[in-house]
Amino acid sequence: MKKLLIDLSIFDKFNFERKPVGVKYLLGKPDGFKQLNKKLALCEMFKEAQDEGPFYAAQEDFECVVGPLILGMKDPDPIFKSGQIGAKLGVFDDARANRRIYDQISTLAKNSVNYVAFAPYDQLSFAPDILIVTANVGDAEIILRASSYTSGEMWKSKGTTVIGCSWLYIHPYVSGELNMMITGLYHGMKARQIFPEGLILLSIPFDLLPGIVNNLQQMEWKLPQFTTGKEAHIKRMKKIAQDLAQELKQ
């Protein structure tokens, strides 16, 4: 695996309750990693890394069939892909609605991944394909602002009622887009009670991570207008506009 070349220690400043987790998709078995010693769904595995430290998972370690499906480890189960299960669970009105999502979710090419490695950001020995951040709203605002600080890139939040793991793990990796999700909105994760509701999940792809880290190092985190109140903010905005208008007259 390619070694981590960027310094992620800037994330220490957040004092996250739940550490960001790096994820790596691998064809060959990773050296120096223990294998997961229990069966878990893919959506649970980054929390396992937060709690227990680095590990890797193989196909036999997945409790839910969806993980191996979106990772390209196995062919789709016709029963799932027909949409029948979502209708039986009451998630969709009928199978045709559930069926639609299989043409929307992202998956990896068949047999291109045999193992998935996980590690908290402060124990990463490899360059992650994605970094998953579990944040409160205040911390998420800072990271999202960092994601657009030098590019102006708009924020995106994509998901489906079920198979939320595809939008967390696969979509950012294949699209190059940071994806924002909220705990409590995705069926499998909610049913497994992985996290309390209302946390922000930010899935950052490898190619955006260096820029976000650099922007976090350069920009002001605590903007004064967030604490000085409405009237002070309005006054400052007017002053800035007046000063700029005066400059243009010169």
pLDDT in tens, 201-247: 999 999 999 999 999 999 999 998 898 899 989 998 999 898 888 88
- Are 64 and 87 in contact by the 8 Å Cβ rule? The answer is no
Instruction: Report the number of secondary-structure helices (H) and strands (E) in the chain.
Output: 11, 6
Q: Which pLDDT belongs to residue 1?
A: 80
What is the spatial distance between Cα 30 and Cα 54, in angstroms, rounded to a whole number?
A: 11
Q: How many of the other CB atoms lie within 10 Å of CB of 152?
A: 6
Mean pLDDT confidence for 116-125: 97
- So what's the pLDDT on residue 15? 85
The pLDDT score that the predictor gives to residue 73 is 96
Rounded Cα distance, 39 and 230, in Å: 51
Residues 6+ apart with CB under 8 A from 36: 45, 48, 55, 56, 57, 58, 61
**Band of the pLDDT at 119, cuts 50, 70, 90?**
very high
Q: Which tokens sit at 48?
A: 């396992």
Is 134 or 89 the better-scoring residue by pLDDT? 134
In a domain, 225, yes or no: no
Q: Which domain holds residue 187?
A: 9-219
Residue 226 lies in a domain: no
Residue 53 lies in a domain: yes
* Integer Cα distance of 45 and 119 in angstroms: 10
Decide if 238 is inside a domain. no
User: Whats the size of the chain, residue-wise?
Assistant: 250
- The domain total for the chain is 1
Residue 243: the pLDDT is 86
Inform me whether the pLDDT recorded for 250 exceeds 80. Answer: no
Q: Is residue 13 domain-resident?
A: yes
The answer as to whether 232 is a domain residue is no
Give the three-state DSSP class for 116: strand
Give pairs for 84-91: CB < 8 Å, separation 24+.
86/161, 86/162, 89/187, 91/161, 91/162, 91/187
- Structure tokens belonging to residue 120: 């908290």
Domain contains 3: no
At residue 188, φ and ψ (nearest 5 deg) are -65, -45
Instruction: Give the orientation angle of helix 137-148 with respect to helix 209-218, to 10 degrees.
Output: 100
Residue 107 belongs to some domain of the structure: yes
pLDDT of residue 246: 87
- Asked if pLDDT for residue 42 goes beyond 90, the answer is yes
Provide mean pLDDT across the span 135-148.
Answer: 97
Average pLDDT, the chain: 94
